[in-house]
Amino acid sequence: MNTRDLEYLIAVAEELHFRRAAERCHASQPALSGQLRKLEDHLGVKIFERTRRQVRLTETGGRIVEQAREILRHVDEMEKIASANRDPFAGSCIIGMPPTIGPFLTRLLLPSMKRYLPDLRPELVEDFTDHLETQLVAGGLDVAILATSPTHATLSEIVLYDEPFWVALPNNHKLAQDDAVDVEQIDPSELLLLADGHCLRDQVSKVCNLTAAGAPEDRGAKTQKTSLSTILSLVGSGNGITLVPAMSLSDAWVTDAGISFRREKSGTAGRTVRLTYRKGYHRMALVEKLADIVAAIVPNTVHPVRR
């Protein structure tokens, strides 16, 4: 049994005439009839009732024809998938990013992808880093742009850029008087952090040498906030200090009244952003191309590794 046999089967079922079915399939009538008899013998059932004047489907034959249609639909889908993946730069590409990267990188990335990868259909997924890793391992994502090294053994990475953190503080804060801020001078009770689950929260805590005992929520400070924009709103209203990634400096809040941004004095506070993918991923040419695109579009506030 092969797909050609199934095409013969469906043609006869729809035409109810062997000659017309043979013409439709560009086959001789004897060849088509012979193949269908072999198929009936193989299955051990009669698919058609034949007379000199009429061809009819048996009840069992009708069910078999429906299965044949379903099989050919799956074969067609397989061929489409294979065709799309013969060109690694065409078809769908699902990209995951955490909410502390996605809003700032996406507006730069999508126009460049449209220009340099016109046949690619990007789909964006925003989630916490650990959730994105799980989806990537399971095949739900093609790649993920993350600010931490992958924890799963099946994943690998290409380093994209190093991104320094800047200190965001109210305009009238005493530390805003200097061009750079020493994080050791920040009172932990003033520090505003993202909610648990954000890798940026852990990175800022590490920069500021916060332990469980010294975490701001344990000192009666503000409750955890779930987005960077919410935290920046609090900073602008004089309710605390936070550290933000350099890419976020191009966002609207930079020009809003009430917020001053200062360099971190030591120059060591920051994060490394990576393009993460499954080992053995079949579209490595696309992965490399995406890495090159990101390196070319990031602003001079960060330090691309591949440029």
* Residue where one domain finishes, among candidates 35, 64, 86: 86
pLDDT in tens, 141-175: 999 999 999 999 999 999 999 999 888 888 888 88
Given CA atoms 176, 182, 183, 186 in this order, what sign does their dihedral have? negative
Number of domains making up the chain = 3
Closest to 262 (Cα-Cα) out of 151, 180, 152: 180
* Maximal CA-CA distance, the chain: 101
Residue 87 has pLDDT above 70, yes or no: yes
Looking at the fold, whether 282 and 240 belong to one and the same domain comes out as no
Residues 170 and 238 in one domain: yes
151 in the same domain as 276:
yes
How do residues 15-67 score in pLDDT, each as one tens digit?
999 999 999 999 999 999 999 999 999 999 999 998 888 899 999 999 999 99
Q: Which DSSP string do the residues of 112-149 spell out, in sequence order?
A: HHHHH-TTEEEEEEE--HHHHHHHHHHTS-SEEEESS-
Supply the pLDDT for residue 222. Answer: 47
CATH number at residue 125: 3.40.190.10
d(CA 167, CA 151): 29
**Range of the structural domain that residue 286 is part of:** 91-158+271-304
Phi-psi region of 109 (alpha: psi -120 to 50; beta: other; left: phi over 0): alpha
